[in-house]
Amino acid sequence: MDPPPPATRSHQPLKTLYIPIILLRLTLQTLLKSLQPNPHTSRPSTHPTHNQILRTTLLRSLLRHTFTIRYLPSPLSLLPNAEYERFVLIPPSHHPNLYTLDSSSILAIRPHTIKPVTIGGTFYPSPPPLPLSSDSTIILHFHGGAFIYGNGRTRSSGKVAKILGSHLGNYVFFPQYRLAGGKGEDKDKDDCKRRSGEREKGYFPAALQDAVTAYMWLIDAVGFESRNIIISGDGAGGNIAIGLVRWLEEVRLASTSASASAEARGDAGSGMYMPMGCTLWSPCVDLAGLTREGINEHENFKTDYMEGQFMEWAVAEYLGPYPPDDGVGSRGTAASLNRERERLIKGSYVSPLRHPFRTSVAMWIMVGKGEVLYDSIVEFAERMGGVEGNKVGLYEVDNAPHNILLMGSWLGWEEQADETAREAGVWMRKKGWKGSGSWEEMGSLERKRRAREAEEREGNEDGIFD
């Protein structure tokens, strides 16, 4: 899948002139849609409301215009900003050869341009107090955003964190994985020092490398036991979450076969490093199938906000140029390079639907019956569930569009998003998960603890001057 040719309106100065036109068109479209009668007023309440239909249609239109101008946000910042002490920096894992177990490792297909780097991450509702108690649980969540948007901070992910924490775990952690796209680095010199790298360095497998970094950091540096971790992801983040689970399984098997004592030593890849569960919310499981025709001609196109041109562009940005710019030049004929690119996009870490695998990790999957990805997600759940020993649960939400966990508050699906998380918590606890889902309680206790510490510090300072 080659990147679509850039439109004239994606370049300056026409890009700047086109933005006000977009806003005006969306405003007029909103007014016209709001005046139309609700086609479902006399139907059962299971149908989408007029408000939900309106918002879904407008979001699809916005994505189409976003593709037209090729809009990419500013590069990710590694400064704490408004998150203060909840934002942390995570260096690459110290485990030797963790990212490159062998020359064919999926994490090393761009060895000269895509390397493990220090990334950021945000804790919710607060950083866990150290040392951790043995029953502390955490949700390691990878945000959605078509691989090119989002950052896990409060403004974009706070509502998702609250939903997950309320029903699944004591703490939620959002890694700020590298995003695809080529806008380049911010020119603010002070902030530039804390950047996670230029945007063009975020091609596959950068996000997967960062997922490995975050998971190992929670275990090695923070002290969470792997059995107290759930890997989670919505939309594109679900694709990354599946990739992380698959990678952990492959590393575990490789380590076990290489050394029978791996588990006893606690090396990376031993059984103790497998998480308890994985929750997936409208995951993108077949990037090879996210074509313009495949989306725009799907029977659920009118009930979803996914837009074919936008998603085709996003996938092309995520995969990056091929052959990879590895510093040694292109190899092979055009035909052979096309075959290699085809092999990549249909591979197990990009399109997991085509490659079911065995895992000890309990996997719960949510899908909206009104989303374009419905068929592929259901098929993925069936294929994974058909592998001997796998524990897979599927939860379907009537009429829901893509990824209501992330977009529920925007599209009017807040209640359904909260209900899905409640169902996920119930299912996971039946499989042995110990998370209490006491996000509000934990946040309150943490605020009280910090207030006491502040009072003690003030008391000590007063005593110095007595």
Position 33 scores a pLDDT of 52
385-394 pLDDT, tens digit per residue, is 999 999 999 9
Residue 463 has pLDDT above 50, yes or no: no
Residue 123 φ then ψ, to 5°? -90, 145
Residue 377 has pLDDT above 80, yes or no: yes
Average pLDDT, stretch 206-232? 96
Residue 315 has pLDDT above 70, yes or no: yes
Q: Where are the domains of the chain?
A: 1-36+47-435
Confidence of residue 251 (pLDDT cuts 50, 70, 90): confident
Residue 420 has pLDDT above 90, yes or no: yes
Average pLDDT, stretch 105-110? 79
- Structural fold of domain 1-36+47-435: Rossmann fold (3.40.50)
Residue 119 has pLDDT above 80, yes or no: yes
**More confidently predicted of 170 and 443:** 170
Contact 126, 444 (CB under 8 A): no
Average pLDDT, stretch 207-211? 96
Position 70 scores a pLDDT of 85
Position 197 scores a pLDDT of 42
438-453 pLDDT, tens digit per residue, is 665 555 555 555 555 5
Position 91 scores a pLDDT of 96
Range in 62-71, 307-316, 331-340, 417-426 the model is least confident about: 331-340
Position 383 scores a pLDDT of 99
Average pLDDT, stretch 406-430? 96
Residue 458 has pLDDT above 70, yes or no: no
Residue 23 has pLDDT above 70, yes or no: no
Give 100's contacts (C-beta < 8 A, 6+ positions apart). 107, 108, 111
Residue 56 has pLDDT above 80, yes or no: yes
Average pLDDT of the residues of the chain: 82
Range in 50-54, 353-357, 453-457 the model is least confident about: 453-457
Range in 170-184, 186-200, 304-318 the model is least confident about: 186-200
Residue 53 has pLDDT above 60, yes or no: yes
Residue 166 has pLDDT above 90, yes or no: yes
Average pLDDT, stretch 138-158? 96
Position 73 scores a pLDDT of 84
421-443 pLDDT, tens digit per residue, is 999 999 999 999 988 766 655 55
Residue 226 has pLDDT above 90, yes or no: yes
Position 10 scores a pLDDT of 47
